[in-house]
Amino acid sequence: MKILISGGGTGGHIYPGLAIAKSLEQRNDDVEIAFVGTEQGLEADIVPKEGYQLKTIQVQGLPRKVSLDLIKAAFKSLVGFFEAKLILNNFEPDIVVGTGGYVCGPIVLAAALSNIPTVIHEQNAYPGLTNRLLAKVVDKIALSNLDAKEYLKDLDKVVLTGNPIRPAILEQNRTKAFKELGLNPRQKVILVFGGSRGAKSINQAVVKLYKEIKGSNLQLLHITGKNGFEEVEAKAEELGINNMESGQIIIKPYLYNMEAALNVADLVISRAGATGLAEITACGIPAILIPYPYAAENHQEYNARSLERKNAAEVILDQELTGDKLSEVVNELIFDEQKLKKMAQASKELGQPDAAKNLVALIQDLIS
């Protein structure tokens, strides 16, 4: 079985592809997998490090307005299409899987026109432009969120699979996680994260919570991101929080065992990226979501509103975020046991812990 997987630009498109690849290898003894991306994208760094071959093509995103840049991008995509055809001829895949981002456009289109089975995976509640265009020609459309159906016409192709998550998240021992993180299992935990680089607006608002948390029966695990740590560290020291590795308020630039944090959290404050939400809902955690306002086509707000409508999250828009506003919402939730329990249940019902297995089954069905 030979499989080509394409997706790039952001980790949100790359990591689902890697999860699919690993799951395929676990379930099949005889499988050959290669990825298609660009030399400039994150995939050029991430995919080879994960042990997979990366075949590259020329392609770039299409500007939304008619301009010289649009003509250049269209020409580059045309070149990428013929490079994709060459890759298909040489590799001879049984199926081509696209996980989003403009990089998967040429290879999935070329495969569809060559009568090679194709499937695209959409992680967000609002489908990206590339996937909306490819939906017309592919065999199957795998969704992480059923709300995305509203923006697609070929509903007979749609299959709800979920968004693959790291197996370690579901395998974590909760008691061991408390011990690893230095947290008290008898006190509630609020987990804050804004991505590996951090989210300045979230960090600034959360610092305002420090005074309320200090001396209460709550614990705060604040993952600032590498870019925001020094600023938060300085603010914490001003408030008399000197030991930031333990105690009620733990502040770290990055956390390598995020699976442990997700397993002890009673409430999460975060952005609304698809991968993060897949992990949050798989663990059944109530959330306060602050969508990244500059995400492509504002897809993070669509993701956040989807959870809000299903009573699994509260949403605060970035432009409305203040320390006082965040404090108000946190206090409304964390001390209301009944509401917190209902949100946790709603979150759990949205989780798709078998997403990788579902995608593998879909791929195998298409091949057979």
What is the C-alpha separation between 82 and 84, in angstroms, rounded?
A: 5
In the β-sheet with 118-122, what is the strand arrangement from edge to edge?
Answer: 53-56, 32-37, 2-6, 95-98, 118-122, 140-143, 158-160
User: What are the structure tokens assigned to 155, written together?
Assistant: 């509903």
CA dihedral 279, 281, 287, 290 (to 10 degrees): 60
Per-residue pLDDT, 71: 77
The answer to whether the beta carbons of residues 119 and 367 sit under 8 Å apart is no
Q: 78: which 2 tokens? A: 């045309």
Is residue 170 classed exposed, middle or buried when 0-12, 13-18 and 19+ CB atoms within 10 A define those classes? middle
| Per-residue pLDDT, 197 | 64
pLDDT of the residue at 256: 87
Contacts of 233 (CB under 8 A, 6+ apart): 244, 251
Are 196 and 226 spatial neighbours (Cβ–Cβ below 8 Å)?
yes
Query: What is the pLDDT, as a whole number, of residue 242?
Result: 74
Instruction: Flag whether the pTM goes above 0.85.
Output: yes
Kindly list the strands in the beta sheet with 267-270, ordered across the sheet, starting from the edge strand earlier in the chain: 249-252, 218-223, 188-193, 267-270, 287-289, 313-315
3-state DSSP assignment of residue 90? helix
From first CA to last CA, the distance across the chain in angstroms is: 10
Task: Tell me which residue has tokens 């009673």.
Answer: 266
What the chain holds in terms of domains, given with CATH numbers, is 2-165+353-367 (3.40.50.2000), 168-350 (3.40.50.2000)
Per the CB < 8 A criterion, the answer to whether 271 and 345 are in contact is no
Which of 87, 33, 30 is closest to 56 using CA atoms? 87
Q: What is the pLDDT of residue 74?
A: 77
Q: Per residue in 57-81, pLDDT tens?
A: 988 776 667 667 777 877 778 888 9
Q: Rounded to whole angstroms, how far apart are CA atoms 342 and 273? A: 23
Contact 132, 143 (CB under 8 A): no
Per-position pLDDT tens, the chain of length 368 = 999 999 988 888 999 999 999 999 999 889 999 999 999 888 999 999 999 999 999 887 766 676 677 778 777 788 889 999 999 999 999 999 999 988 999 999 999 999 999 999 999 999 999 999 999 999 999 999 999 999 999 899 999 999 999 888 888 899 999 999 999 999 999 999 987 666 899 999 999 899 889 888 999 999 999 888 999 999 988 888 877 776 789 999 999 889 999 999 999 999 999 999 999 999 999 999 999 999 989 999 999 999 999 999 999 999 999 999 999 999 999 999 999 999 999 999 999 999 999 999 999 999 98
